[in-house]
Structure 1
Amino acid sequence: MFRKIKEKQIVSAEFRYEAVIVVHKDLPVTNLDQLKGLKSCHTGINRNVGYKIPLTMLMKRSVFPAMTDRSISPKENELKALSTFFSKSCIVGQWSPDPKTNTFWKSQYSKLCAMCEDPAKCDYPDNYSGYEGALRCLAHNGGDVAFTKVIYVRKFFGLPVGTSPATPSSENPDNFAYLCADGSKVPIRGKACSWAARPWQGLLGHQDVLAKLSPLREKIKQLSRAGAESKPDWFTNVLGLSEKIHLVADNIPIRPVDYLQKANYTEVIERGHGPPEPVVRLVNHEEIENNIPN
């Protein structure tokens, strides 16, 4: 059983957010292989819509470099592949928790910082990072392709978002388009074509005791209504609800695996780089001594 917890502003949306590619409408691309050599704008390192999802999808393309070099770490494999595939990019953030490694990688793969507001820093805050920053990078800093999510595309171009009305914007949505997985383009004013979607949070229960869980589901509904006004600690800490997040009662429970597959999100979670990495075995001092020949 799966029961969704949603943001009130976009309660009608099937998923929490959708990952999209935005391009200039006249960009001569009819196949995703043609993304190779373009200038890309990302939200930031390790972020879902701007890094993990596009990396997962691009790995399927034969033109994308293999990430199986065992002489370097998996993370450096990713950076090396992205630096080889795109001509320039903006991927800000801490690429490694180790300052020396972080500095070395940003020097080694400097093309991944070249589209940023401050390429030497390549870190937050940066005017060309984040959901809207990636779009600014596309619209005003020479980017060819931006990886972001639908709700911020609509905000950037002043279009309605869920229950929120349109807002004034100096950006013209008619100059841009969504790039779909099949290489086609969709107008920004229309329904977006998503590469993958982030599922809503949810409450889980065993399928074989679904009937017994009905009273519990009703109790959770009652609790969510009771706590909506005063917002006691348990409202957030136990139910995970807030001013923006509330419970949605699904008439037909959804299996988590079906929901993830529908969102095309399973591959993002399970993403690997290729052949299994060498196994590391942890042993104690006695085991080492016992296996040393006399």
Structure 2
Amino acid sequence: MPERDSELPTRALEDIAYLSRSANRVVILTELTEGQYSRGTLANQTDVSRATLDRIINELEERGWAKRTTEGNYAATAHGQHLMRRFKPFIESVETLHRLDDVLTWLPIDELSIGLEHFNDAVVRRPESEDPVEAIGFINDLLGNTSEFRVLAHLAPPEPLGATLHERVTARQMTMNGVITDELVEFLGSTPKRAKRWRALVEAGSELRQHEGPIPCNLWIFDETVLIKKSGPEPIDESYGVPIVSENDTVRSWAHDLIDEWMNAASPIDASAFEADPTAPGADSSGE
């Protein structure tokens, strides 16, 4: 039985290796996909030495990825255009792998209908200090300037976020909708103060739905900004902590679609769902 590696397309791997061994090759072919240029213009635009540029253009012509136009300029061929259309996202995806590193597992693979290249702007917002207030302050600032807030979550907002959320929604300064887990519904209704706050959110028009069981990730959309955090066995009263942050249009569209999908499959929540049990531990008027 042949080794699996022998089944791979050798010529395709050689082409990938040729490009990946030289950043200059990628830069020059990328430029050629965007317009027609003379060798001198390309040298100025790419900061590649003329000798190196001449050699690379000759190699690209030999491979059928670049061509000389009738005006004496150079441009990418259809082969070169198609190649870079796939190769650039691959580079950006690998770069994302390195940048997100250990938090890459927070992205839900089964529900991730977009490529990693769309997370090319994503950052892991790690506080400069160990103080969790820094992360909470960042999210609170987002809430304070958001007109539409959407959520898919297992985590409860810490007190400052809960207060801002309540204030802006009840004042009709912000809309809220999304899906929260059944465990989170129970937690939010476990003390009078918290239950009263969330009843007010529903009564003010927030469209919340309840899902029984795990969710693929914790996801929040603040107008243009998307925050993602892993979903797991963490306590539901954990702070939002360190999230992945992105403002990419495709990421935002994916986040909206994912929340829509889960909302369609979840059960509506009315204000009565947040009824505090007076016999529950900690059920006092100060409970938050």
Q: TM-score range by the shorter chain?
A: under 0.3
Which structure dedicates a bigger proportion of its chain to helix? 2
Q: Which has the larger radius of gyration?
A: 2
Report the TM-score, using the length of structure 2 for normalisation: 0.24
Report the TM-score, using the length of structure 1 for normalisation: 0.23
Structure with greater contact order relative to length (CA < 8 Å, sep ≥ 6): 1
